[in-house]
Structure 1
Amino acid sequence: GKFPLWLTPEQVVILPISEKFNEYAEQVKMYLKVHEIRAIVDDRNEKIGRKIRDNEMKRIPYMLIVGEKEAENGEVSVRKQGEGDKGTMKFEEFAKILNEEVQNMINKW
């Protein structure tokens, strides 16, 4: 069955589209961490398509893709496991949505 979000070791993986954006990815990770969201950065020197495929295999619930537009605007491009592209949003907004989702799951449990 589906693994509850809050039981997976990582809830979020952040994928910089090139190493230019690794620093921004780390900033997002630190912000999420402060908000009790477990995130990692995939800073391997791989093409973004490859990073997406590799991380889909790991079944991490959310992937945040960050490139130039995102870094400039304080945003993340969101992909959800099994649902695909969720569009772009401020990373603060993403943190809020994820925390609400986790709360709902815990309350239902």
Structure 2
Amino acid sequence: MRILIFDPKIAGVSGDMLLSSLIDLTNSLDEVLELEEVINRLDSCRKFKVNVVERDAGIRAKGLEIEIEERKLANPSEFKRAVEFVVNHMDLPERGAKWSGM
């Protein structure tokens, strides 16, 4: 069994940095592409595009470029419905769906 310990207390990490490093580590983009497809089906989303790029500034890494064109949601209940839609249309394990609170 392999274990990865992630402790961002010292320097912190942004969401796109964490996601791109996990994509690089697992060499799998399938879940991100599935999420892209589901988000693009939301009424409030005009465009959601994820692009993984190679970076090399002395250290090789992957980076994420995310394009979003959206209509702002009117209220928290509309946001909750959007999250429920995504959770219900993703192929999540039961544990992941429960963790989302939906």
TM-score by length of 2: 0.30
Structure whose alpha-carbon radius of gyration is higher: 2
Q: Which protein is richer in helix relative to its size?
A: 1
Which structure carries more relative contact order (alpha carbon 8 Å, separation 6+)?
1
